[in-house]
Structure 1
Amino acid sequence: MAIDRWNGVTGEDRDMIGGNTKFSVRRRLGLSLGLAGLLTAYAVVSSPAVAAPDRTAQAAPAPAAESDESAPAPAVDGAEPVRQTEAEAFAHAVDIGERVEIGALQGESTQTFANPDGTLTSVQHAQPFRVVRDGQWVPTDATLVTAADGSIGPRAATLGLRLSGGGDTPLVRVQRAGRSMTLDWPGALPEPTVDGDQAIYAEVLPDVDLVVDVEVTGFSHVLVVKTPEAAQQPELAELEFGLATAGLTVQDGLEGGLAAVDTMSGAPVLEAAAPAMWDSGDDTAGTDAATPGRTAPDAGDATGVDATESAPPGASQAPIGWRIDGDTLTLLPDQAMLTDPDTRWPVYIDPVWQDTRRSDWAMVASGYPHMSYHKFSGTEGVGNCPVNSGQCNKVGKKRIYYALPTPYAGRTILSAEFRVTMTHTYNSTPKNVSLYRASSGISSGTNWNNKPALGVLLQTKAPTAKKDSCTSTNQNVGFTATAAVREAVTKGWSTTTFGLAATDENDQTAFKRFCGNALLAVHYNRTPSQPKQSELTMSPGGQCVTGTNRPYVDTPPTLFMVLRDPDHSSSHTEDVRGQILYYWYDSAGTRVNNYVTTGWKASGSRFQYTLPSNIPQNTPITWEVQAGDSEVWGPWSWEGSTQTACQFVYDSTAPAAPDIDSPEYLPLDASEHTSACVEDDQHRGGVGIYGTFIFDSVSTDTVRYLYGFNTNPLPDNELVPTSPGGPVSLRWMPVDDAPNIVTVQAVDQSGLRSAIATCVISVPTRLAAGEWGLGEAAGAVSAEDARGNHPAVAGAGVTFGVSGPGCGDSGSECQFDRAIQFTGDAAESYLATTSSALVDTSSGFGASAWVRLTDDTTDRVAVSQDGSGEPGFTLGFDAATGKWEFAIPSTDVLSLGGWSVTSTAPAIRDEWTHLAAAYDPELKTMTLYVNGDVQPTAQRRSAWKSRGAVQIGRAYARSAHTAGWAGELADIAVYDRVLVPREVSELSTLRPIRLGYWPLDDVSGDRSPEYDDENGQELLLENGAHLYAPDVDADPFAEPPLVGGGHLVLDGVDDRARTDAPVAVTDGSFTVAARVRLPSPTCGDRDQAVLSQAGTVASGFVIRCGSANRWELVLPHSDNNDPQTTLVFDGEQLPSADQYGQHLAVVYDAFRNELRLFVNGEVAVTAAATYTAGWRADGPLQVGRALHNGGFGQYLGGVVDEVRVYTGVADDETIQLMTSIDPNPYL
């Protein structure tokens, strides 16, 4: 269907000149997403020859270079240091005393710096200032260079852009995220003359030149008609351009403009404001020929105006009609202007196309109320144009608007500054200009009639210093914008629009000119974390409760709390403190508030405060706490729907709380006999280490004690003294290294309970007694212990440097996770420590190993410790049962039997498996774990201590070593304490093990290999999905791949890629990641899935760009139709169309039942999963679609790269390493 559009205006827009109807200026200055020049504009020039404009006065983002295809884009000047991860950046900032840019958070228009004081600074630029080329950031540069085939293009732009080098090649081809648009001149083109960012095609028609101006985000093109006679050529009545698109549809845009939208999603990819034409105004015949004007004429820097950039003074303008019919775009120049004898030649016809992005800028002019000056090039005016200059051409008043991202939810804004470059003032007298927080946003159709209200005044200044050009670093005028950014945080605005206007818009001497290069620098601090209710206790009183469960205490309690700040960990420099509020209501019902501020401690420390003795009795007292840093206080502990305030009642007549003692864990408390615990910041004991706890009471009629560990006393936890009032004791072992809480309550003969006594103990995790990663390179002769204390010497029959468990089934070439291979010969193939008795096998101990068994015909031992006649223990494979086994001989005597526990299921050959063993000396139980799952336990009825070396790959028995391991081993560890379930879970499931990595750089037929392609799963490219891997030598102007040498292109219709079998283990912890680029900074009108894994009728997970225009993670609760789902999303880091794309990662921690969604290396959202029973999606990994109700849909239109899948939980630093602009195959 043909589209016919005439950009007409109302009668009020017309001027009568010499009795002929003429159109007044209706010029829109830049287009928002430009197919850059789709609408090549016509210009008519009066002089017979066109002098190329002097480009040297034009500002460029980077220095121009000669048109030389061999000249590479220069690397970004490393004026400030960069470190890839946030932790590295903070550490380096402290070392050097200067801010350091965080590489993981770099973008085309964004910088984030770690400051030495632990705060951060984010800089959001309105205009892109850098792009990625060949794995490094380089400055944007629109300078045109020539390729080997004669075509020309910009050196470093944000989209693929190629111009004709002459002949029958298309005039221009634009690429963005797998979509493209081509414009073709109806005839052969001459070889262009190239000058900076401009290409001039001379005499495309008699006395008509075609000029193309290139910007880093788009282009414009202008026909230059040199004589009135040339204007009468029939070709100028209707200008037909060949139009070809792939994945795009060109249609009506805003306010009479055009838009190239994604064919499937409808999201705008390129935009052009309504095209216009103008004459030469008051210029003389010798004025330089120009491309279409991109700014409204005014008295700015009137001398030396390049008509390629702006309409000259006094120019008349008229709209251009347009029509699309199939593969033809027809421009309809205003014939009245072309035939009017008063037209002043040349005339310029100008459509401008640019790409779309979340940052934006636009000028509006009261004299041209229907005109859009969106994304103007160079500079524009602010204020009332001084008519005495003779150059205002009725422009009237001007304002400039800038839209800048404000993704700072959860941050405390310390300060914010808006900066922009000023290039012109009326004179040297200071005159005010004001910055406002505008009331609404802007678009490619913004004009004076529909402009946002200026809104809230932020600051007024009277600058006089000027710059000669616009660059990404020379912003010379700054305004305080702190209030606007804080308001954006409060109201959840992801983008904030600023307005720049003369304070007195009637004062023509206040006129100024500013660039489009505004930036917003935000200095912020992450808000201290909300204290966890589980880490709030009181002694006496126990854990934090409220309401009817509040405890009675006999003395004013000591309050305990753990406070944290995400910005101020041990690697940073600032501490945290607490603010405590406790209150009650007096007899008149008036609330009595009391505030207390603690001292400073390191983040994660335990704080305490003892309430004064004058607090009232027998009335509920409430207390709450918030953490603070040097800048701000975080949320109160009661805020939100999942936590409450803490309460108690003080009654001095209540039974006294008992005393708690422990020689191992509370040694400072031994000398006193009250319920109060002596403050002790020292770590005592350790996870997996038993201690004795003694409970005693000053009441002689106490007949029983109730106790709890990390909970208030429970009825089932009861100890009875041998006589009333006597002490009791028990043995207890911490299983977590967080602060642990012990609570005890005494009960007298009448059943009356005392106040709850509470003690908090700090428990460390004691590292393994010996830990051997076995990751040495091929040719090594020994394995180093993690702490360098207990090397293990290898026998002659071991092979170092083979593939480890992190390689999956990748084969022998995998080097990012290495292991050791054993032959099964116990005499030759082993490792043995030079140290002895690393663990006491008569007491608590544990062992852990990653194993891969290749021969199950006889017993195999992964790890053991030598005794005199028998091993102290063995962990390995039992051939008689065909199962994994943890065994301990009954004595250190030959062949007298022993105790063992075997796995429930048979051992699986040729597959990596995690084994762990633990012996609990108090319960006398032996426990075996397989891949983190506990197996049936067994009792050990005798205990003895082995005193020999640790053996890896064999065991000692009957005066010789036997049971040699056949296969591979990795990550062996032995513990001189009990190995607890949480640690086993972490060792087996939280360790990120790479299951698949697809760099998408190569393809064979319709399959792209997994990086370790010897045994890895390939991605099958289906229904037109294809790999884009440009030859940059042959086509230097092609859009570059996201990372490395290629990326996957998907059309959004039915393109997809998939594996043949499952990859992610969705019923356990997993991490998935990919880099994606959308053609538009919005998702359009539908969900688009980036990654998923299919079940039978539903997906195990879906990472998608949602129809609400945000990144989302969806976890269906079951493999059923219309299942319940957990949905988490990022409302701050919204989709963008930056050429480098966005990195997405999802981490599901099954142990903590926690989800984390990362966007560009930052945690966008952390949420608890609303269900605990994960299910295994046993279908293929899907790239570009998702399964729902038994059918596939949510097809992605865009490009994808660097697909990664891991089992286990990747930490924040690992995710930030994945965001590197260099491929990292070893991650």
Structure 2
Amino acid sequence: MTETTSPALVDNTSYRMRVLTEAYWATDRGASGHLQSGWSTWCYFRVDTTGPPPPIITSDDGLYPPAEDSLASGGVGKAGKFRFTPADTNSNLPGIQSDVTSYKWRLNSGRLSAPINVSTGASTTLWVTPNQDMENTLQVWAYDAAMHSSVTAYYSFKVKRAEAPVGKWSLDNSGADSTTAATKRPLTLGGSAVYGTKSRAGSHGLQTNGTTSYAATSTPPVNTLYSYSVSAWARINPGETGGTVVGINGKVYSGFYLAFDKGRWSLITSPLDTMSGNITEQVVVSDQPATTGVWTHLTGVYDSVEKEMRLYVNGRLQGTHAMPASWTATGGLQIGRALWQSEHSGYFAGSIDEVYTWSRALSGDEVAQIATQEDEDASDGYAGDPTTANVASWEATTATGNTIQDASGYGRAMTLNGATIGIDPATADNEALGRPTTNAMALNGSSGYASASGPLVDDTGSFTASAWVRLDSSKVTDASKGYLLQVLGQQGTSNFSWGIWYEQAAGSSAGKWKLGRSSKDAAGSAWSYVSSAPAVKDQWVRLTVVYDAQDATTTGDGDEVSRGTLFLYVNSSKYGNDNGVAFTTPWQGLAKFEVGRGIVDGAVGRYFPGHVRNVRVWAGAMSPSAVGDFFAAEE
């Protein structure tokens, strides 16, 4: 083997080389010579120690010109076509001048894209959907074959506000369409459907019987040939197995089915509106089984640019499915039923509320925002805050025998199991003075508890729970042992899904209130929790737990987003920190809601000693100002 050194090589230059072998021979008679092989094939290589220049970004369809040259155009959720071109390419010259082989891009602070591979020196086009109004910034990097990156190329453009819903039915004792669009499409009730008082927002929601009930418009609010989105709140009656929440009639099939199907939430479409079509090929289902008897937010999206359908449950993406072709459903919007092989079926049994449609594909951030169900009443002082719906309310003063009636209207009576109703210790001396006394639930710390049929809320969505609590100091005096004492929680099979408890370590005379959630309904679960300051004993405090399923936490370079945050309030003070404690893996507890005890690793215990009153639960994440105002009103 031998080595040789080439002349100095020039950067950004392509070379080729080939070799042959040569052998020297000699004999004992003095003869000698050389033998040579044939030449090898050529070996091509390029010397490249520098990255390409930043690429040139242009609006290929003209929808989003540079920010410095134009006013806002397009709209949030309206895709524009952009072109990325190597900066060292001259279209007037023959051949390839650039060594760019791929691009990566990012919009605003979103996720960095996967590489977009191109032929050497070629440009590429890309559809980009802006996710915020006013200025958006596209960042692009060019790469050569050695994966040297260019510096960042920037392109800023201005975007109009997101297009408002083109259909908006709040169902508050009326089928009126409250959209700001020029064309209104009111609903007509059919088949014994009524506007009932079980609602997720406002005063009423649509109640359907699962056999004949529905509400419908006469014309479609969106053209299903192009991008569209639809959202609704749904509450399935316990015991039901299926039903369509929203669809739009075609001739044979619905243009889409936002539905409860085979025990899960689903977004379903048929590739054709003919008898040769079907509703089994294009389906996205929820990650977890649907929970009956609770309010759940659903959003279905068709993105005609990406040729993709997406399902969101409580603001979280559940999955996607390719949808290479679409068609126009020309019939009316159907709430509570669908069209299958030219016959109406799939009647929904339960409650439906706040149905919205858009003529565009919503972004994930927009879906999460919509799932908060913002208060739109500018006169109530909570405009922009999440809307909550009271789904359980138990007052000790209404107890009869061993039962406390539910004042929320959802009819879940609470049963006392060893717990008793007695005079509030804070008013015990009033009776002798001729003053009024109040009642409270008394818990003995060893066997007493109360329970109601659960679940009360969708544990994967946002919810709020509160209670007034008074801890009996005489039951936590043994400093040689620790105490874990459950105030309330939603029980599962092995663990409670969420709950509030008092925790006091061995060797200490002081403890804290804690709000926590478990990562799974099985032994060995990890726990996420928020702790309070040292808890007071023998005094009433109002404990409030808030789980905000839509609250976002960003990680890495800001391109990873997870959702779900825990907040704990004692009276009106929030604990943990302003951002709460992230909890992004919620699961649904399906057993009873209990006051005064809990279950961990399959063992029931943690009996609470003291008194509890005014236990309430809401669907939705109560805002800090609402928590404070509620406390002030009851203090």
Shorter chain as denominator, the TM-score bin is 0.5 to 0.7
Listed as ranges, the matches of 1:522-541 within 5 Å are none
CA distance in 2, matches of 1:862, 1:1016: 25
Amino acid at match of 1:831: A
CA distance in 2, matches of 1:884, 1:973: 17
* Structure-2 change in CA distance of 1:878 and 1:1140 (3 Å): closer
Residue 731 (1) aligns with residue 111 (2): no
Residue 745 (1) aligns with residue 141 (2): yes
* Structure-2 change in CA distance of 1:1181 and 1:853 (3 Å): closer
Give the aligned CA root-mean-square deviation in angstroms. Answer: 5.0
Match of 2:568 among 1157, 1164, 1175: 1157
Alignment partner, residue 1092 of structure 1: 489
Residue 1130 (1) aligns with residue 529 (2): no
Q: Please tell me whether the aligned partners of residues 877 and 884 of structure 1 are also in contact (alpha carbons under 8 angstroms).
A: yes
Amino acid at match of 2:79: Y
Amino acid at match of 1:897: G
Deviation, 1:754, is 1.6
CA distance in 2, matches of 1:1095, 1:909: 15
The residue matched to 1:1157 in structure 2 has which SS? Answer: strand
Alignment partner, residue 15 of structure 2: none
* Structure-2 change in CA distance of 1:1210 and 1:947 (3 Å): same
Alignment partner, residue 1059 of structure 1: 452
The residue matched to 1:830 in structure 2 has which SS? Answer: strand
Alignment partner, residue 794 of structure 1: 188
Alignment partner, residue 972 of structure 1: 355
Alignment partner, residue 42 of structure 2: none
Alignment partner, residue 1048 of structure 1: 441
* Structure-2 change in CA distance of 1:918 and 1:666 (3 Å): closer
Alignment partner, residue 1184 of structure 1: 596
Q: Please tell me whether the aligned partners of residues 664 and 685 of structure 1 are also in contact (alpha carbons under 8 angstroms).
A: no
CA distance in 1, matches of 2:414, 2:56: 65
Q: Please tell me whether the aligned partners of residues 1158 and 1165 of structure 1 are also in contact (alpha carbons under 8 angstroms).
A: no
CA distance in 2, matches of 1:787, 1:1031: 57
Listed as ranges, the matches of 1:822-901 within 5 Å are 824-825=211-212, 830-832=215-217, 836=219, 838-851=221-234, 862-865=245-248, 869=251, 873-875=255-257, 886-888=268-270, 890=272, 895=275, 897=277, 901=282
The residue matched to 2:627 in structure 1 has which SS? Answer: helix
- What number of residue pairs does the alignment pair up? 536
Q: Please tell me whether the aligned partners of residues 193 and 215 of structure 2 are also in contact (alpha carbons under 8 angstroms).
A: no
Deviations 1:563-622 (A, max 9, x none): xxxxxxxxxxxxxxxxxxxxxxxxxxxxxxxxxxxxxxxxxxxxxxxxxxxxxxxxxxxx
Residue 1173 (1) aligns with residue 580 (2): no
Amino acid at match of 2:449: R
CA distance in 1, matches of 2:130, 2:270: 25
Alignment partner, residue 696 of structure 1: 85
Q: Please tell me whether the aligned partners of residues 267 and 310 of structure 2 are also in contact (alpha carbons under 8 angstroms).
A: no
Amino acid at match of 2:301: A
Q: Please tell me whether the aligned partners of residues 1064 and 1181 of structure 1 are also in contact (alpha carbons under 8 angstroms).
A: no
What is the TM-score with the length of structure 1 in the denominator? Answer: 0.38
Alignment partner, residue 685 of structure 1: 75
Match of 1:996 among 392, 412, 423: 392
Amino acid at match of 1:1074: A
Amino acid at match of 2:549: D
Structure 2: gaps spanning 5 or more residues? 1-49, 90-97, 374-386, 505-509, 551-561
CA distance in 1, matches of 2:290, 2:458: 19
Q: Please tell me whether the aligned partners of residues 899 and 939 of structure 1 are also in contact (alpha carbons under 8 angstroms).
A: no
Deviations 1:1085-1142 (A, max 9, x none): 65544323444554433423443444332334455667543342234xx645797643
Alignment partner, residue 658 of structure 1: 55
Amino acid at match of 1:699: D
Amino acid at match of 1:690: A
Q: Please tell me whether the aligned partners of residues 75 and 133 of structure 2 are also in contact (alpha carbons under 8 angstroms).
A: no
* Structure-2 change in CA distance of 1:1123 and 1:664 (3 Å): same
Deviation, 1:1018, is 1.4
Q: Please tell me whether the aligned partners of residues 60 and 125 of structure 2 are also in contact (alpha carbons under 8 angstroms).
A: no
CA distance in 2, matches of 1:859, 1:1013: 24
* Structure-2 change in CA distance of 1:1126 and 1:885 (3 Å): closer
Alignment partner, residue 94 of structure 2: none
CA distance in 2, matches of 1:1181, 1:748: 60
Deviation, 1:880, is 11
Deviation, 1:1176, is 4.2
Deviation, 1:993, is 5.3
* Structure-2 change in CA distance of 1:664 and 1:1189 (3 Å): same
Alignment partner, residue 257 of structure 1: none
Listed as ranges, the matches of 1:80-159 within 5 Å are none
CA distance in 1, matches of 2:437, 2:238: 49
Match of 2:206 among 819, 834, 856: 819
The residue matched to 1:821 in structure 2 has which SS? Answer: strand
Match of 2:116 among 696, 718, 736: 718
Q: Please tell me whether the aligned partners of residues 864 and 871 of structure 1 are also in contact (alpha carbons under 8 angstroms).
A: no
Alignment partner, residue 398 of structure 1: none
* Structure-2 change in CA distance of 1:1064 and 1:1026 (3 Å): farther
Deviations 1:797-856 (A, max 9, x none): 45433243649xxxxxxx955324367558xx53325xx553222211122234467899
Deviations 1:141-177 (A, max 9, x none): xxxxxxxxxxxxxxxxxxxxxxxxxxxxxxxxxxxxx
Q: Please tell me whether the aligned partners of residues 872 and 889 of structure 1 are also in contact (alpha carbons under 8 angstroms).
A: no
Deviations 1:676-724 (A, max 9, x none): x74999586313x322122234223242342132569968422426x62
Q: Please tell me whether the aligned partners of residues 1051 and 1196 of structure 1 are also in contact (alpha carbons under 8 angstroms).
A: yes
Give the % identical residues: 22
Match of 2:466 among 1046, 1053, 1073: 1073
* Structure-2 change in CA distance of 1:1137 and 1:738 (3 Å): farther
Q: Please tell me whether the aligned partners of residues 1128 and 1165 of structure 1 are also in contact (alpha carbons under 8 angstroms).
A: yes
Residue 918 (1) aligns with residue 301 (2): yes
Deviation, 1:1144, is 2.6
CA distance in 1, matches of 2:153, 2:610: 61
Deviations 1:83-109 (A, max 9, x none): xxxxxxxxxxxxxxxxxxxxxxxxxxx
Deviation, 1:755, is 0.7
Amino acid at match of 1:801: Y
CA distance in 1, matches of 2:448, 2:260: 50
* Structure-2 change in CA distance of 1:1114 and 1:918 (3 Å): closer
The residue matched to 2:576 in structure 1 has which SS? Answer: strand
Greater displacement, 1182-1191 / 764-773: 1182-1191
CA distance in 1, matches of 2:492, 2:340: 49
Structure 1: gaps spanning 5 or more residues? 1-652, 670-676, 808-814
Listed as ranges, the matches of 1:988-1027 within 5 Å are 992=388, 994-1012=390-408, 1015-1024=411-420, 1026=422
Deviation, 1:1022, is 1.6
What is the TM-score with the length of structure 2 in the denominator? Answer: 0.67
CA distance in 2, matches of 1:757, 1:662: 14
Amino acid at match of 2:441: L
Listed as ranges, the matches of 1:8-23 within 5 Å are none
Q: Please tell me whether the aligned partners of residues 771 and 786 of structure 1 are also in contact (alpha carbons under 8 angstroms).
A: yes
CA distance in 1, matches of 2:523, 2:243: 46
CA distance in 2, matches of 1:1154, 1:933: 13
Deviation, 1:935, is 6.8
Match of 1:1147 among 547, 558, 570: 547
CA distance in 1, matches of 2:260, 2:547: 36
